[in-house]
Structure 1
């Protein structure tokens, strides 16, 4: 990371094998913007490592491009999301409907519209974030879990959670190209105005040279095959 601030250390918020196509381990800002507290945000998907291009869906590339993909054909859709630290839930917004399938051109159009025309004073933040949870980890440190599956949020505002508790499931709500977990740390609970905070994961494994090796306080790149089992 090319940044003067020391990253905060958190537990990995998922279980199993993952890829982070957008990560501060590769570029900062990781999503090309500092808006919405996303400067150091990660996206996580599950892929088929044996197929060319590491697709995140079970269908063919032609079907993805021509017809879209039903959400249940994505490997990560519905996977549990875990609290990465002890804390208190300060926001939990559910009920925002997911589109039933991905459609590349429509999803790109939505992304462009939200990136260029979203006005936090008048627009609903759920049009960008979908279903989301904000967890207060410490003073001025808030974890954001975005694009969650509709109806999956298992916590409520004011609830105390422990590191490792299940809090929701990976979804495709809001401004999302495909089912994934968007995960970030911020200095405020307000997604519309927060600044992102740098962070790393206290432990995970990296598949390297045909074997799994342990990484401590690591920041995966967008090519890393990683896993976390607890």
Structure 2
């Protein structure tokens, strides 16, 4: 039904909108077509602040072991009762260890403009005016366990509003012993940092895009023109821990011409929130931790909803389905069974080793661009 809103991410791009059903309404309520700024101009403002994710975990920045610096990442989502326009003009970030104020950092209007977006209104379904993206780093001692975010907002009519949000920080203690879902050499293509694309989505802050490598650490065996040229293609994807399968998908075609994503075919498939993951599996590990493994080959998923799986069981074959530009495995851990709407959880693996300049167990967060090996023996 019209009216509707249409958002363009690409300026000057022609957008075709097809209406499946049109209902003609003879009369509209007064002010129906007015912008909220005008329609609700006489109403008091109601501002809401929340973080995405709801629970925020700090990650040590060390590559080959812990160092004396850690980082964390979150969005502050700003809502208004009637959806009226708001502009952030000033922010103050206060860092606490217990009740001791360690430091205050401030951001002006131009800085906040660069951090602002509307990232959680579609897939996550949040009723937001805008959100602000904050990436923070601090020394591990004394530990920062709390922040206060103070925002100054200016409404369309010039009204100035001051709002505050307290943010609790912690280090995550894994509940499930995870084993890496591939065997042998691999490299992280994306993940392990907060300045890459996964961090823009609710459940994927700690996600990994994984490329399997050959015995000589080779990535491809040809010209990377087909899926079969990639060493990753067809590798067995293994259950990282025991659990119950709560979601599977097996009908998404593989993108045949890397690095091209066949978005035309992808957009015709049902269930748009999940089709981006292609052929995928979600495992409930029974303690508030859920594994999501995505982009497997069409028809290769070997498990079914409700099936009990054991660590190391083959779930499917590594593919190039969904929103994927080359054969790889996407893996992340989340605190619920719903993609795009569940909190992310940091990853720790039992069986991952450094196998390059540095050797030994990888005990911390895995970083992109480092040769690693998963040993299932």
TM-score, normalised via structure 2 length: 0.50
- Quote the residue 1:87 is aligned against: 243
CA distance in 2, matches of 1:59, 1:223: 21
Map 1:38-77 to 2 at 5 A: 38-47=204-213, 56-60=219-223, 64=224, 69-77=225-233
Contact (CA 8 Å) 1:29, 1:38: kept in 2 or not? no
In structure 2, stretches of 5+ residues that fail to align are: 1-58, 60-70, 73-169
Cα distance in 2, alignment partners of residues 45 and 185 from structure 1: 18
Q: How far did residue 123 of structure 1 move?
A: 5.5
Change (3 A) 1:99 1:216: closer
Q: In structure 2, do the counterparts of structure 1 residues 7 and 222 end up closer, same or farther at CA, with 3 Å as the change threshold?
A: farther
**Aligned residue pairs, count:** 204
1:190 alignment partner in structure 2: 338
Q: Which has the higher contact order (CA 8 A, sep 6+)?
A: 1
2:116 maps to none
Question: How well do the aligned residues superpose, as a CA RMSD in angstroms?
Answer: 2.6
Measure how far apart 1:222 and its partner are: 1.2
Where does 1:1-230 land on structure 2 (aligned, <5 Å)? Answer: 1=59, 2-3=71-72, 4-6=170-172, 8=174, 9-24=177-192, 27-28=193-194, 30-35=196-201, 37-47=203-213, 56-60=219-223, 64=224, 69-102=225-258, 104=259, 106-107=260-261, 110=263, 124-209=272-357, 213-230=359-376
Shift of 1:199: 1.5
In the alignment, the residues of structure 2 paired with residue 179 and residue 71 of structure 1 have an alpha-carbon distance, to the nearest angstrom, of 6
What are the Cα deviations for residues 62-112 of structure 1, in whole angstroms up to 9, with x where unaligned? xx5xxxx1111111011001111110000011111112221x3x43x95xx
Structure 1 residue 49, shift from structure 2 partner: 9.2
Instruction: Mark the runs of 5 or more structure 1 residues left unpaired by the alignment.
Output: none
Q: Which moved more, 1:191-200 or 1:215-224?
A: 215-224
- Are the counterparts in 1 of residues 203 and 334 from structure 2 also a CA contact under 8 Å? yes
- CA pair 32-135 structure 1, distance change in 2 beyond 3 A: closer
From the two aligned structures, give the one with the greater helix fraction. Answer: 1
8 A Cα contact 1:205 1:226, kept in partner:
yes
Q: Which runs of 4+ in 1 moved over 6 A?
A: none
TM-score by length of 1: 0.79
